[in-house]
Amino acid sequence: MSSQATPIQGSRPVTPPLTSAGSPRSPVSPESLHPPACRHRDRSPSPMRGYLIPSPLPTRRNRTCSATARALEGPSFAGVCKCFSRSKGHGFISPSDGGSDIFVHISDIEGEYVPVEGDEVSYKICSIPPKHEKVQAVEVAITHLNPGTKHETWAGRVVSS
């Protein structure tokens, strides 16, 4: 058996391979295969940019209409902001009647200011799927700013209270 291929009768002629990438018959030059080095794209300042796994928590955007309606019909509660991280996008509220801390997502905060530790808030609760055993705070509004602390608006302006 011969190692050389023989042309099949009636087939089209085979084009010989190019000997060098820069030859006149080459459709593209090696330089055009690489993107220009000066191209730089500004990234979004989103704090969630580095996370690859989507959050299983229902935010305002992906909460169902029925869950939103149930939360709005429920009673309003009062509490104190235990902690809130704008860069992480969530925080916790300590209920004024005691009990365990309640999770709050950044999309559920109403008003002009970013909550800080010690702010008094009012909120409603909504269960967290899939088992609906835990709850999160929704429709969170700051009722009293913690005196003596600096508060930041969502636009980034810092205000002393």
Q: What is the pLDDT of residues 74-90, one digit of tens each?
A: 899 999 999 999 899 89
More confident residue, 50 or 135: 135
Which pLDDT tens digit goes with each residue over 12-29? 666 665 555 555 555 555
d(CA 112, CA 95): 22
Share of the chain above pLDDT 70, in %: 60
Cis peptide bond upstream of 130, omega within 30: yes
Q: Does domain 65-160 have CATH number 3.90.1150.10?
A: no
Q: What is the DSSP string of 94-116?
A: EETT-SS-EEEEGGGEESSB---
**Element (DSSP H or E) covering residue 120:** strand 120-128
**Residue ranges of domains in the chain:** 65-160
What pTM value is reported for the model? 0.59
Structure tokens, 78: 């009062």
